[in-house]
Amino acid sequence: MVISPANLLLLRPLFQRLFLVFKNDFLSAERRSVGRPRLSAGLVIAAAFIVSGCSTPTLYLTTEGYSETQQADLRRQLEALDYAVETTRIEIPEAFPDTTISVNPAFSDIQFLERLAALLEDKTQAAVHSMRFGEGNHAYFGKNIGIYVRNPESKQQRFANPFLRSAQCPQQDGLLKISNDGSFQLEFVYYADDEQNLHYLNGLWRWHESTLSLVFSDGSEQHLQHRRSEVATYQGMCPTDIYTPIHDHSEAIVNCAYQVIHMR
């Protein structure tokens, strides 16, 4: 496939965002004199999975539909297995069974896996599904193990388009992430001292009668009306879901339309 200069322009916002994430992570590390530098969640997980040969084996715990108290209790029991435990903020793929563990194909401590499975079965009352070949692009290195626990009784909302990109917003670029736990995060670029910086707005969302409502942490709201349309792309006309703001908000990026383009 030949990528023309026109097509590369479509990827420009992605490269800009990656550059800003790396820049902010390294700058924050230089400014801190106490404690570990704070990396973005994606970088922390990626680094932990890859740099594992000489590090403490780690259980990466991902939960969905459990209270903070339940999560903390499970984490304490996992720590009693003499493994480090890290909690992730990634979403559990829908194809994963409610209780799933993912290990490296070369992992050979069968007794530990049996202890881990018994603990999880006792806590979740569900059979444990084991994966060894990076199903769903969730691969772990060395002795690290991924744990995915979903509460089947939770009534979490599932939004059809979990990632929405700002549209008709020439001076700002925003990415709206809709999570199954009812929360959202709006990541956008703003300018200060002639530099591009990343900023985040958080809150809760709800869906009712074709309207996506966002309630921000400061109590303000925005409501986005959904409609389906088509948009011109380098692949020709493609279907798109568009979410158009109904009200005015004090933050300019919140007044932008958001969309997802369904490429062929």
Q: Which residue has the higher pLDDT, 241 or 35?
A: 241
Please, what is the average pLDDT of the chain?
A: 78
pLDDT digits (tens, 9 = 90+) for 186-197: 999 877 677 778
What are phi and psi for residue 45, nearest 5 degrees? -65, -45
Identify the residue with better confidence: 36 or 172. Answer: 172
pLDDT tens digits for range 63-95: 887 878 888 999 999 999 989 999 987 878 877
pLDDT in tens, 147-206: 999 887 765 566 777 899 998 787 678 999 998 778 899 999 877 677 778 899 999 898
Share of the chain above pLDDT 90, in %: 36
pTM summary value = 0.46
Whether the predicted pLDDT of 42 surpasses 70: no
Answer yes or no: is pLDDT of 48 > 50.
no
